[in-house]
A and B are shown apart, each in its own frame.
Chain A
Amino acid sequence: MSDVQERVKKIVVEHLDVEEDKVKPEASFIDDLGADSLDNVELVMAFEEEFDIEIPDDAAEHIQTVGDAVKYIEEKK
């Protein structure tokens, strides 16, 4: 597992208070991990801070799954 994956997983587990093994790449924050739309906003904020990047709103809208987040961050870094 890549470093980005590991750190994203940690943020998701902490923020959404879910079991680690549920945080799979294909897991949707809202449908599978119980997030609401504001949680999504907060997750993006947390990713921005953790990886010191800016995620514009139109990109943030497309980050729906754990895999989306990892992919976006790896491309951006």
Chain B
Amino acid sequence: MFDLTGKLALVTGATGGLGGSIARALHAAGAEVALSGTREEKLQDVAKDLGERTHVAPCNLSDPASVDALPGQASEMMGGLDILISNAGVTRDQLLMRMKDDDWETVIKVNLEAYYRLSKAAMRGMMKGRWGRIIGITSIVGVTGNPGQANYAASKAGMIGFSKSLAQEVASRGVTVNCIAPGFIASPMTDELNETQRDAILQKIPSGRLGTGDEIASAAVYLASEEAGYVTGQTLHVNGGMAMI
């Protein structure tokens, strides 16, 4: 439906379930995609699976210098960068009273600081080209909070505030900045829940089921499209009605 032919995209966390779905969907819509993640072999597998119009750009997101350099590398591989999807994220769940400084710092660094660094490094080319799409994959818990995830929720809420500010700064240059906030999405992690846990979660979801990676990816394709050019500073919640904000 939305055509991304000729657009050049960078997706972080592309070996993960969500990142993989997003990369696949952008690619299927016609985009050329640079896949980033920490595990090079897995990136190669995804690239091989997708075929042409793919590149592999491994990066350790907890290393600031590598993060700063990533958009430039992707841009060199593809001859530009039109779409940045900041999807990589980590969790270090723990009640605040038991949270270690390291749990806090790692989550803020990988989830929030990397988003700042990637956006900054990608912006120059986008501003010059008068076209760009920055999409941060945040989370429902960034808006609702969740016990045991003070660090994660703070990083995800931070992404939203960051996006709104940047969106205002660069809107006049044809660059939009938006977030997607998934709710509960089926993944290897949710597969491991037992029936009681599963039921407890499903009770909170009006749709009565978990979401799929493809449903998040579709939102990403829309926000990356030409048609979404008037949408900026928004957070698109894809959560089966679990929270209506």
Contact = CB atoms under 8 A, between A and B. Distances in A.
A38 B167 CA distance: 13
Contacts of B170: 38
A45 B173 contact: no
Interface in A17-52: 38, 42, 45
B98 interface: no
A33 B162 CA distance: 30
A38 B124 contact: no
Interface residues of A, number: 3
Nearest to A46: B128
B169 interface: yes
Q: Which applies to chain B's interface (DSSP): helix, strand, loop or mixed? A: helix
A45 B169 CA distance: 16
Interface residues of B, number: 7
A27 B147 CA distance: 56
Contacts of A38: 127, 169-170, 172-173
Contacts of A45: 124, 127-128
Nearest to A48: B124
A32 to B, nearest CB: 20
Nearest to A37: B169
Interface string B124-136: 1001100000000
A42 B172 CA distance: 12
B122 to A, nearest CB: 14
A42 B169 CA distance: 12
Nearest to B169: A38
Contacts of B124: 45
A42 B128 CA distance: 8
Contacts of B172: 38
Contacts of B127: 38, 42, 45
Interface in B192-212: none
Nearest to A39: B172
B173 to A, nearest CB: 7
A51 B170 CA distance: 25
A45 B172 CA distance: 17
A21 to B, nearest CB: 26
B43 to A, nearest CB: 31
Given A45-B127, A45-B128, 5 more contacts: A38-B127, A38-B172, A42-B127, A42-B128, A45-B124
Interface pairs A-B: 5 shortest CB-CB: A42-B127, A45-B124, A38-B169, A38-B172, A38-B173
10 contacts: A38-B127, A38-B169, A38-B170, A38-B172, A38-B173, A42-B127, A42-B128, A45-B124, A45-B127, A45-B128
Interface of A: 38, 42, 45
